[in-house]
Amino acid sequence: MGTIDFIKNYDSKSNWDIYQDFFTFITTHYSFRWTFLLFIITGKRNWRNPVMLIIIFHLVFREIGIIFGDIAKLLPNKYPNYNYRSNEAFFIDHGLSRVFYYTSEVIADWYLLLRTKAIVKSNRKIIWVYITCALYCLSKLIKNYVNFSYIPYPDGFDPARDKMLFFKRRVTYKKNKWICDVILLITSIIYDIVVILTLKKYVFTNYDKIIQENNKKETFFIEKFKTLTTYRIYWTLLLTVLCTPIVLLFCFNLIYALNNVENFKDEKSATTFYENYCNDSAIEDFRVDVTHTGYILIKNSDIRIHYENNNKYTYKYNNDKINYYDLMNKNINNENISVNYYNNYNNNNNSNTELKKYYNSISRNI
């Protein structure tokens, strides 16, 4: 086997590099860094709550999918001049690995549902959140079915004679795949809109009334959840809305290619058209970046909620403690002032204690 044949049969990345990736990729993946930081801030006592379990399982299933993708790269390259190494490699890389990819995404998609359920505390009021979440997850299962249903090289495939057949079948597969992505993006938009409308109707509106009447921000968790969740959902909506028409245009592009294959007089020009005109590498990278941004914002918002909550308790406790001892050191003789301050101090401590109990109950429930 010559040098050129060797390069065609094997990627420039050696098998030993792939073996090394099995042990090193977990620390370099974006999901690990954010999960590790959240684990430190949350602490060992709270990592078993459902939200942390969602984030942990999202990481675990994602990494298992990456492992299967690397395993596919170790298989022999039976078709050097084609996009996929073999049917077996495609099945592992685009079938089995995607099962774990989409499972990790489905698990992470439950984050908003659990957060909303913990705050609203009524299944009847969030019935549309359940429905839209189920539709969103179902769209990913359908996309996974499309991956499993496609076989790149049918029985009796001849690499020298059936190149046109391969590209035509591949474009058909890509068309079905990207139609699923359009549906997925639309259901994602609907899911986010339903969540934000539900929270505004049953949580945020009532919270604003409490603030106006009482002028005490004792519901700290809801305050931060309102700010960070609104910020995260709006950003996700913006990115998804921008991504959807681009993906839709690419679907039209693939449909146009399939309907105009007869216009090419020779097979070479047709295959060149398919290779260049229907390449989805760039748009796939864009779609993946949009998806990853949404999951990063989930971890980021949870980190800020936990971090600012802990700092709030520390700051208020130290501030009350300093004020109390300053007053005692001044030797104020006015008994009424001392009694009033003592009562206020106790009330503040009780308020902080109740607030912390409330937040801890929320954390345990979600």
pLDDT of 58-87, one tens digit each?
888 988 988 888 888 888 888 888 888 899
pLDDT given at position 15:
63
CATH (domain of 73): 1.20.1070
**Reduced to 3 states, what is the DSSP secondary structure of residue 31?**
helix
User: What is the number of alpha carbons within 13 Å of residue 354 lying toward its C-beta?
Assistant: 9
**Residue 67 and residue 58 in contact, taking contact as beta carbons nearer than 8 Å:** no
CA 184 to centroid of chain Cα atoms: 13
More confident of the two residues 264 and 160 = 160
Domain count, the chain: 1
Which is nearest to 8 in space by CA: 73, 70, 62, 81? 81
Evaluated on CA atoms 270, 272, 171, 280, the torsion sign reads negative
User: Rounded distance, CA 75 to CA 78, Å?
Assistant: 9
The boundaries of the domain holding residue 262 are 3-365
Q: Is the pLDDT of residue 323 over 60?
A: no
Structure-derived torsion over alpha carbons of residues 75, 174, 190, 293, reported in degrees to the nearest 10: 50
pTM of the entire structure?
Answer: 0.72
How many C-beta neighbours within 10 Å does residue 72 have? 21
Q: How far apart are CA 83 and CA 79, in angstroms?
A: 8
Tokens for 175, please give them. Answer: 């068309």
CB-based contact 296:37 (threshold 8 Å)? no
What are the distances in angstroms from CA 75 to CA 4, 33, 151, 170, 189?
18, 30, 17, 21, 39
Cα separation, 60 vs 32, whole angstroms: 9
Is 152 in contact with 88 (CB distance < 8 Å)?
A: no
Residue 153: per-residue pLDDT: 92
End-to-end C-alpha distance for the chain, whole angstroms: 59
* pLDDT one-digit tens code per residue, 97-115: 999 999 999 998 898 888 8
pLDDT at 22: 63
Alpha helices in 121-219 (DSSP H): 127-149, 163-199, 205-214
The predicted pLDDT at position 340 comes to: 47
